[in-house]
C-alpha cells in the first residue's frame, strides 16, 4: 500500500488528542474544529474529562459528530481500583463515549497482579457499556514478559482495547511493544482492539504500525473498531502527506 493510502487510512483511525496542562475550553474546542479536513475525519477526540463538552461544541461547529474519549487514573496509574472506577463512572456522566484508563503498572512491576485485575474489572463495570481502553504503559513495563502479562490481564478482565502508553513517560509506543500486544490479542481470540499512543508523529511511523497489524492480525482486521492511534501532531503530518495545507490543523504534540 502506498504511503498516501496509509496516511488516509491512519487519519480515520486517530484519537485526535489534547492532554496538556494548559488545555482550555477554547483550545479544546479548536481541536474539535481541526478534526474537519478535506481528507476525512478522525475516529474520535481524546481530552480531559472537564473538556468533553468543549470538544463536542467544537465538533458541532463544523458539522461533525464523533465519539469523545477521556482518561481516568491518568497518568500515574495508581493502584486504587475504587477511585479509578469512580472516575470512570464520573466521566461517563460527563458525556464520555470512550474511557482510556491507566493500569496500575507500577503495582504490576512489584508483583501485584490482583490489583490490576480488580481495577480493570471495576472500571469495565463503571463504564456502563462505553468503550474501555486500558493503557498498560509499555515503556515503563519494559520487559516483553511484563508487557505480555499486562496485555493478558487487561484482555481477560474486559478491556475493549489495549493501549501502549499515556504519552507522559520517556518511552511511549514502540513497534516492539505493539508486536507483543497484538500477539496477545490474537492469542486471546477475543474482539479486542489495539491503540498506539505517544511518539507516532509521521505518516511513515503510522504506516509501520499498520503494516505490523496486517502481518499479525491479517489484512482487513484494521478498522476504527479494532485499531487506533493516540496522537495530535500526527494529523498535520498525515495531511501534509496527503497534500493538504496544514495551517489550520496544527495541535499540540502528544
Is residue 122 annotated as part of the catalytic site, yes or no?
A: no
- From 100, 122, 160, 205, the catalytic residue: 100
Residues ≥6 apart with Cβ < 8 Å to 34: 16, 235, 248, 249, 250, 251
User: What span, in angstroms and rounded, lies between the C-alpha atoms of 108 and 127?
Assistant: 23
User: What span, in angstroms and rounded, lies between the C-alpha atoms of 222 and 213?
Assistant: 7
Is residue 195 annotated as part of the catalytic site, yes or no?
A: yes
Q: What is the DSSP code string of 12-80?
A: TTEEEEE--TT--HHHHHHHHHHT-BTTB--SEEEE-GGGHHHHHHHHHHTT----EEEEESTTT--S-
User: What span, in angstroms and rounded, lies between the C-alpha atoms of 16 and 130?
Assistant: 18
Three-point CA angle 153, 157, 158, nearest 5°: 125
* Set of cell numbers at residue 178: 505493539
- From 122, 133, 163, 205, the catalytic residue: 163
- From 124, 130, 195, 205, the catalytic residue: 195
Is residue 186 annotated as part of the catalytic site, yes or no?
A: no
User: What span, in angstroms and rounded, lies between the C-alpha atoms of 54 and 158?
Assistant: 29
Catalytic residues: 100, 163, 195
Amino acid at each position: 500500500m502506498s504511503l498516501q493510502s496509509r496516511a488516509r487510512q491512519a487519519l480515520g483511525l486517530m484519537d485526535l488528542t489534547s492532554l496538556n496542562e494548559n488545555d482550555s475550553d477554547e483550545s479544546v474546542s479548536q481541536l474539535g474544529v481541526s478534526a474537519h479536513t478535506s481528507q476525512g475525519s478522525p475516529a474520535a477526540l481524546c481530552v480531559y474529562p472537564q473538556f468533553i463538552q468543549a470538544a463536542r461544541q467544537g465538533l458541532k461547529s463544523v458539522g461533525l459528530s464523533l465519539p469523545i474519549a477521556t482518561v481516568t487514573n491518568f497518568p500515574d496509574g495508581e493502584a486504587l481500583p475504587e477511585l479509578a472506577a469512580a472516575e470512570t463512572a464520573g466521566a461517563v456522566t460527563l458525556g464520555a463515549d470512550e474511557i482510556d484508563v491507566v493500569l496500575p503498572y507500577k503495582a504490576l512491576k512489584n508483583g501485584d497482579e490482583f490489583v490490576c485485575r480488580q481495577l480493570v474489572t471495576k472500571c469495565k463495570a463503571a463504564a456502563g457499556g462505553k468503550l474501555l481502553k486500558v493503557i498498560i504503559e509499555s515503556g515503563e513495563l519494559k520487559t516483553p514478559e511484563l508487557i505480555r502479562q499486562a496485555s493478558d490481564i487487561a484482555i481477560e478482565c474486559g478491556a475493549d482495547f489495549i493501549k501502549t502508553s499515556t504519552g507522559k513517560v520517556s518511552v511511549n509506543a514502540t513497534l516492539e511493544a505493539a508486536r507483543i500486544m497484538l500477539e496477545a490479542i490474537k492469542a486471546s481470540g477475543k474482539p479486542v482492539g489495539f491503540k498506539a499512543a505517544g511518539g507516532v508523529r509521521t505518516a511513515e511511523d503510522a504506516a509501520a504500525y499498520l503494516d505490523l497489524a496486517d502481518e499479525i492480525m491479517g489484512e482487513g482486521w484494521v478498522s476504527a473498531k479494532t485499531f487506533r492511534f493516540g496522537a495530535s501532531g500526527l494529523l498535520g503530518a498525515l495531511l501534509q502527506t496527503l497534500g493538504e495545507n496544514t495551517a489550520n490543523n496544527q495541535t499540540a504534540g502528544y
